[in-house]
């Protein structure tokens, strides 16, 4: 027996495909067998791995869960089912129990309803890149271990909610009096646990779309697209809320708006979290991806921290956090990672509670914190189609042109992930997506004229490589 995956399914950070076209139960079974085999080999000495399994609210998720568990048990793993819930609840089930060796969440994240996929944790570390490719190699060769594992089902929601509430333990109750928060679960998997959390939080909480519906009837569950925050903005205005929080489809990415309806982007949220954390842990290393605003890196320095710019991708950021013992990291995409008094994974529900805590500890409303941020002019993340065979080569060409003797005076180039170029006008970025055949561009300046000059530099570099920006494509 062997199994071949569709070539588009095994990706850099996770496994993802279109149900009935590129992904189905046979793939899920093979993923279970491959993951179980790798885990058993890694543990050695005849150990029986224990794997936690969860799934999101998509229509296809229960079928994939059943097949995945078949594959895991057929490779000798015992399985702990936590049922339907947010991805961070699965991460919590893996991180909080010493006896659990790995975890798999079935989720299509923020993708359209006909997509689904898998996010994995392997002995406490992210499972990505070469790990995922190894599943394909083992499947093609049929090199699976045989066994007969057992399955148990547990309830973890209440324990998970209690753990999140612990983030408010050090806050004086009087500091939270009169708090009013709006929440939008987007019909995603975080809805039911959000209801439990909100019922136990201090203050008044107004909830939208907590009913899980894998067809996402109200709006697409991607809080990094401002159009998807329209319902939340309306609720904040109607109920005079202090701020609003939105989640993606599986609850690991956060979006936010302040009391005036202004979006608080991922790097701006990180500014608030960093200021709060550095009050307790001065001199800490705070990590953000290459798409983040210069204002964030400056803010971390101003508050006594060490900013570190790193590669985009939740698995890459988590790995870097462990390497440099960073207590806090985040991405423009809304993944925020707390490792100061939490487990270091991306959890939008916990991030929402930490926003309440940060505001109370800093003694400022979220609206005030957002209002004090420097007014930078920046483009949204622009993504445009480039042939898979060209995208990395084009970035290397830009890098070659922008380094060595070619760099103009006053210009600095950071090649951590693609090419980020700092100029007197601000900065611009070009990088190749690890998950799609697209190039990603972004620019930031303090003036309209500066932003125009930066965009002209991006266009010039693309033209020199025989490319043009063209129309931006979606995720």
Round the CA-based radius of gyration of the chain to a whole number and report it. Answer: 22
> What are residue 111's phi and psi, to 5 degrees?
-75, 165
pLDDT digits (tens, 9 = 90+) for 209-230: 999 999 999 999 999 999 999 9
Residues in contact with 188: Cβ distance below 8 Å, sequence separation at least 6, in sequence order: 56, 57, 86, 212, 216, 221, 247, 248, 249, 250, 251
Which residue in 418, 463, 412, 424 sits closest to 441, CA to CA? 418
* Global confidence as pTM: 0.95
φ, ψ (nearest 5 deg) of residue 92: -65, -45
The rounded Cα 156 to chain-centroid distance in angstroms is 22
Q: What is the DSSP letter of 18?
A: E
> What residues contact residue 405 under an 8 Å CB cut-off, 6+ apart?
none
* Catalytic status, residue 333: no
Mean pLDDT of the chain: 95
Q: Is 310 exposed, middle or buried (0-12, 13-18, 19+ CB in 10 A)?
A: buried
User: In sequence order, what are the beta bridge partners of 103?
Assistant: 52, 121
Q: Give residue-wise pLDDT tens across range 229-273.
A: 999 999 999 999 999 999 999 999 999 999 999 999 999 999 999
E strand or H helix at 91: helix 87-95
Q: What is the DSSP string of 99-133?
A: T--EEEEE--TTS-TTEEEEEEEETTEE--THHHH
Domain 15-155 grouped into CATH 3.40.120.10: yes
**Which architecture, in CATH terms, is 377-464?**
2-Layer Sandwich (3.30)
For residues 80-97, average pLDDT: 97
**329 three-state secondary structure:** strand
Please report which confidence band the pLDDT of residue 471 belongs to, taking 50, 70 and 90 as the band edges.
low
HEC string of 172-183 equals: CHHHHCCCEEEE
Which phi and psi angles does 13 have, rounded to 5°? Answer: -105, -15
Collect all residues with Cβ–Cβ distance below 8 Å to 240 and sequence separation of at least 6.
Answer: 180, 259
pLDDT score for 96: 95
pLDDT per residue as tens digits for the range 396-441: 999 999 887 777 788 999 999 999 999 999 999 999 988 788 999 9
pLDDT band at 112 (very low <50, low <70, confident <90, very high): confident
Render pLDDT for 9-27 as a digit per residue (tens, 0 to 9): 999 888 999 999 999 999 9
Task: Indicate the length of the chain as a whole number.
Answer: 475
Cα within 13 Å of Cα(358), Cβ side: 23
In angstroms, the Cα distances linking 116 to 8, 23, 111, 174 are 13, 8, 8, 44
Residue 218 phi, psi (nearest 5):
-95, -45
Q: Exposed (0-12), middle (13-18) or buried (19+): which is 449, by Cβ within 10 Å?
A: exposed
Start-end of CATH 3.30.310.50 domains in the chain: 377-464
> Can you tell me the distance from the alpha carbon of 327 to that of 100, in angstroms, rounded to the nearest whole number?
23
Which residue of the set 60, 109, 333, 359 is catalytic?
Answer: 109
In this predicted structure, which of 100-104, 109-113, 114-118, 250-254 has the lowest mean pLDDT? 109-113
Place of tokens 């798999």: 104
CATH 3.40.120.10 maps onto the chain at 15-155, 160-371
Of 3.20.20.70, 3.40.30.10, 3.40.120.10, 2.60.40.1120, which CATH number belongs to 160-371? 3.40.120.10
């Amino acid at each position: 027996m062997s199994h071949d995956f569709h070539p588009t399914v095994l990706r850099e950070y996770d496994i993802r495909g279109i149900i009935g076209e590129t992904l189905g139960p046979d793939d899920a079974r093979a993923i279970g067998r491959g993951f179980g085999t790798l885990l058993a080999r890694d543990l050695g000495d005849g150990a029986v791995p224990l794997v936690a399994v969860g799934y999101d609210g998509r229509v296809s998720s229960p079928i994939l869960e059943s097949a995945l568990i078949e594959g895991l048990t057929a490779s000798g793993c015992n399985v702990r089912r936590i049922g339907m819930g947010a991805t961070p609840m699965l991460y919590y089930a893996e991180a909080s129990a010493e006896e659990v060796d790995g975890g798999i969440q079935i989720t299509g994240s923020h993708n359209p309803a006909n997509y689904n996929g898998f996010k994995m944790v392997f002995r406490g570390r992210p499972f990505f890149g070469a790990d995922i490719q190894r599943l394909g190699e083992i499947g093609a060769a049929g090199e699976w271990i045989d066994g007969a594992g057992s399955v148990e089902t547990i309830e973890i929601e209440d324990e998970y909610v209690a753990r999140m509430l612990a983030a408010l333990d050090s806050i004086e109750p009087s500091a939270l009096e009169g708090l009013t928060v709006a929440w939008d679960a987007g019909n995603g998997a975080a809805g039911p646990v959000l209801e439990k959390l909100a019922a136990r939080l201090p203050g008044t909480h107004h909830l939208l779309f907590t009913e899980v519906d894998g067809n996402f009837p109200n709006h697409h569950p991607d809080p990094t697209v401002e159009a998807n925050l329209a319902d939340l903005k309306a609720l904040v205005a109607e109920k005079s809320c202090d701020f609003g929080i939105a989640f993606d489809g599986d609850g690991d990415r956060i979006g936010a708006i302040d009391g005036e309806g202004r979006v608080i982007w991922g790097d701006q949220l990180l500014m608030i979290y960093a200021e709060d954390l550095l009050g307790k842990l001065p001199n800490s290393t705070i990590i953000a991806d290459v798409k983040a605003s210069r204002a964030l890196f400056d803010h971390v320095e101003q508050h006594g921290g060490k900013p570190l710019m790193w590669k985009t991708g939740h698995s890459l950021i988590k790995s870097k956090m462990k390497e440099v013992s960073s207590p806090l990291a985040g991405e423009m995409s809304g993944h925020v990672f707390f490792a100061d008094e939490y487990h270091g994974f991306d959890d939008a529900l916990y991030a929402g509670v930490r926003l309440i805590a940060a505001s109370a500890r800093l003694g400022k409303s979220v609206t005030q914190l957002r209002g004090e941020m420097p007014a930078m002019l920046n483009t949204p993340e622009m993504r445009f189609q480039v042939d898979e065979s060209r995208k990395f080569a084009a970035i290397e060409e830009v890098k070659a042109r922008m380094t060595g003797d070619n760099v103009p005076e006053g210009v600095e180039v950071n090649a951590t992930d693609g090419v980020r170029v700092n100029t007197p006008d601000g900065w611009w970025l070009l990088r190749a997506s690890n998950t799609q055949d697209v190039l990603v561009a972004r620019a930031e300046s303090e003036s309209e004229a500066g932003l125009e000059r930066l965009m002209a530099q991006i266009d010039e570099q693309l033209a020199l490589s025989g490319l043009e920006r063209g129309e931006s494509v979606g995720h």
